[in-house]
Amino acid sequence: MTTGYVDGTIKAFLDKLATSSPEPGGGSVAAMTGALGAGLVSMVASLTVGKEKYAGVQAEIQSLLAASEQVRADLQVLVQRDTEVYGAVAEAMKLPRDTEQQKAERDATMQVALKEAAKVPLTIAEQSLKVAELSLTGAEIGNVNAVSDAGVAVLLADAAAQSAALNVKINVGWIEDQEFNRSTWQRVEEILAATAGLREQVMTLTYEKLG
């Protein structure tokens, strides 16, 4: 069913991405970008664990590491999940439409598949916002020698959220349920405002600490 991109090589993923193959696409790349950001937050936490200089924040650092590893695991699953929901839309498009009943059934199946295909990048955006929040904690209390990695993490989190937003946008363009579209896009805009604010905050802090 799934092709398990994260279990394959980086080169294989990039090589297939570069072709006209329908997957992997921008949604999977958004999830992977978020996962790279989460991995960097985990690195910052890992470089702080057990360090005497950071004895006062060990409990918070352990929580940070647990949270970033959970988000990373979730985003790694979403890399694959995005290809599956995209596949379901493509399958629905192939349904017969010779009779009025077939057309109605195809439309209904399409609408369900499109909503799922919009929800996945929305979830990727939500998880990316978590990465941005965790990056701030990493930059604030993590090992100062790794502060640039917290900076890279927030840049990737913001880019991942914005990338996921584009992939929500594509799908809502085809969804007839206007209330679903309105509430979905409202949440996207909240997430983008939050990640942009966190990016600004973490980058300022990072450059300050780099001197």
Name the site residues for its own copies (rule: CB under 8 A): 5-11, 13-14, 17-20, 25-26, 29-30, 32-33, 35-36, 38-40, 42-43, 46-47, 49, 68-69, 72, 76, 79, 148-149, 151-152, 155-156, 158-159, 162-163, 166-167, 169-170, 173, 203, 206-207, 210-211
Nearer Cβ to its own copies (104/210):
210
d(CA 117, CA 27) in angstroms, rounded, equals 10
Q: Taking the complex as a whole, how short is the minimal distance between the CB of residue 143 and its own copies, in angstroms? A: 9
CA 71 to CA 126: how far, in whole Å? 10
Residues in CB range of 134: below 8 A, 6 or more apart: 38, 41, 64, 67, 68, 71, 153
Cα gap 192→161, rounded to integer Å: 7
Write down the residue that tokens 């398990």 correspond to. Answer: 4
Say how far apart CA 124 and CA 161 lie, in whole Å.
Answer: 7
CB 100, min distance to its own copies, A: 28
Q: What is the DSSP letter of 47?
A: T
Specify the residue, 9 or 178, whose C-beta has the smaller distance to its own copies.
9
Q: Name the minimum Å distance from CB 13 to its own copies.
A: 6
Q: How far is the CB of 87 from its own copies (least distance, A)?
A: 17
